[in-house]
Amino acid sequence: MLDDDEATGYRHIGHVRATDDDLGAVVAPLVREALAAGGRVVLACPEPVLTALAGAWGPGDDVGVTTVRQLDSRPAAGVAALTELIDRELREDGRRLHLVTAVARPATGWGAWMQTEALFNHVLADRPVDHLCLLGPAEGPTGYGDLGPAEVARGTHPLLLTDAGLVHNPGYRQPTEVLTELQRAGVPDPLEATEPALALLDLDDMRALRRSVHAVLADSSLDRDAAEDLVLAIDEIVANAAEHGVPPVDVRLWCGTDRTVCSVTDRGPCFDDPLAGYGPAHGDMAVGGMGLWLARRSVDSLVATPAEAGGGCTVRLVVNA
């Protein structure tokens, strides 16, 4: 997709669709260019996008059409799904993979999707992939505050595909900056100004914690699967606080109509790397050391910040109903 024989790692290209009409005029030439250079192209896109691009390749071209589960869900799950797809589609002959994905209106909102796009740059940095992200269409209200597909494209893609072709993006921001800003914008959650449904201070009994959390969540707005995910995440974060933090460990739980929030606070130093835990530490579940990775995949948001009172670290977990 790019005239650069020296490229080795991941190249992230953003394109904000005006309508489906621009796919054939703007996107198809990039696909044809990749195929003409002997590349492999994989499209993980909805049917309307595939139909609009169908004329870009012929029966003998190396084109794969596939789907990606959970790509626009929780950031950690979306990153994992795309990583699995890329690793499955890469060939041993050394050719670069040219991947096209499309997201029109992410289920989790443009803020969460911007985190996912930023994480692609971090997690996939070493993969030999040209990844074209089709975002939008751009017209119409987004319903997600001030963020929309144009802001996501500018903030998370080093390259942009425009009517004039590929251009370098001066508005690109490093993943750490994007994630820190987005994740901390909602801290503290407004629910935390209300009385918690559960408060366990100086926790020393994990079984009592699980029983208490299950009892509260049984009457919450979360369905069974979401509740089980949150229990798993709380369990992992509390275990991390007990092992790596400084006691006491306090757990508080708030249940709203559209989300559930849990805070886990200990008195130890706070980790401030927003990229931590978005890939498994080693891949062997039996060895341990994968608690943060498991927790991130189990919730919609996980943010660590210095505790507001008394020092220490607070990890906030959010699951949307």
| Predicted pLDDT of residue 142 | 46
Task: Copy the structure tokens of residue 76.
Answer: 């950690």
Distance CA 106, CA 298 (A): 18
pLDDT value of residue 272: 79
Residue 256: Cβ-neighbour burial (10 angstroms; 0-12, 13-18, 19+): middle
pLDDT digits (tens, 9 = 90+) for 272-289: 789 988 876 545 544 445
CATH of 187-320, one of 3.30.565.10, 3.40.50.2300, 2.60.40.10, 3.40.50.10440: 3.30.565.10
Q: Delimit the domains of the chain by residue range.
A: 11-182, 187-320
Q: Is the pLDDT assigned to residue 3 strictly greater than 90?
A: no
Task: Give the separation between CA 56 and CA 41, rounded to whole angstroms.
Answer: 11
DSSP 8-state code for residue 116: H
Q: 18-32, 90-104, 183-197, 239-253: which range is least confident on average?
A: 18-32
pLDDT tens sequence across 207-260: 999 999 999 999 999 999 999 999 999 999 999 999 989 999 999 999 999 999
Architecture of domain 11-182: 3-Layer(aba) Sandwich (3.40)
3-state secondary structure of 85: helix
pLDDT score of 70 more than 70: no
